[in-house]
Amino acid sequence: MHSLLFRLLTVGVGGLISLHLAMSGRVGAELTAVRAGMAGLAAANALFWAVGAITAWTAFFFLGGGSPAEYLAAAPKPLLSAGAIGASIVFAVSFLVPGRVGGAGAGFTCLVVGQVLMGLLLAHFGALGSVTDPFSLRKLAGVALVLAGAWLTQR
C-alpha cells in the first residue's frame, strides 16, 4: 500500500514539474520582454531561486532543523553542485519553453526522455547511491516506447 501511495505522490510531483516548466517558461518570456536576451532570463532564474530559498529556509526552521552549519559540514561538497545544476535547469527551461521547443507540452516530453535515459544510466551503474539495476531488453523496449510517445505527442 505504501508503495502505491508513494508512486501516486511521485506522479503528483511529476505534474508539479510540468506546471513548474510552464511557469518558468512564462516568467522567462515576460522578463525577456522587460530586458531582451539573457539578462531577462537570468533575472527570472534569480527570482525563482530567491523564492525557493525563502521557502526552503522557512520549512527548515519550521521543522526545527537545527544548525545549518551542522548540515553543511556533513554534506558531501561535490554533491552540493546539484544547486547549480538546478539553477541551470530553470535557466534553460526559461529559455527553451516559450516557443523554442513548442511550449510546455513539447518541452516536458523532451525533459522526460532525458530523465528516463539518465535514470537508466544511473541505475545501471548504481551511481550516486542508486540501486544497481542493469540494462535489459525490456528496459530498452521501454525507452523505445518513451521515445515513440515523445514523438507522437509532438506531432
Grid coordinates in use for 60? Answer: 527548515
CA atoms within 13 A on the CB side of 145: 6
Mean pLDDT in the chain?
85
pLDDT tier at 1, thresholds 50, 70, 90: low
Checking if the pLDDT of 33 tops 80, the result is: no
Sign of CA dihedral 127, 131, 135, 141: negative
Q: For the chain, how far is it from start to end, CA to CA, in angstroms?
A: 38
Residue 147: CB atoms within 10 Å: 14
* Helix, strand or coil, per DSSP, at residue 66: coil
pLDDT tens track for 4-28: 888 888 888 888 887 887 787 788 7
Kindly give the residue spans of alpha helices, DSSP state H, lying in the chain: 2-34, 38-62, 68-74, 82-96, 104-125, 137-153
pLDDT tens track for 41-86: 888 888 888 998 999 999 998 998 788 888 888 888 888 888 888 8
Do residues 33 and 40 make contact, with C-beta atoms less than 8 angstroms apart? yes
pLDDT tier at 145, thresholds 50, 70, 90: very high
pTM exceeds cut of 0.75: no
Residue 63: phi and psi, rounded to 5, are: -85, 5
CA distance 83 to 79: 9
Do residues 59 and 72 make contact, with C-beta atoms less than 8 angstroms apart? no
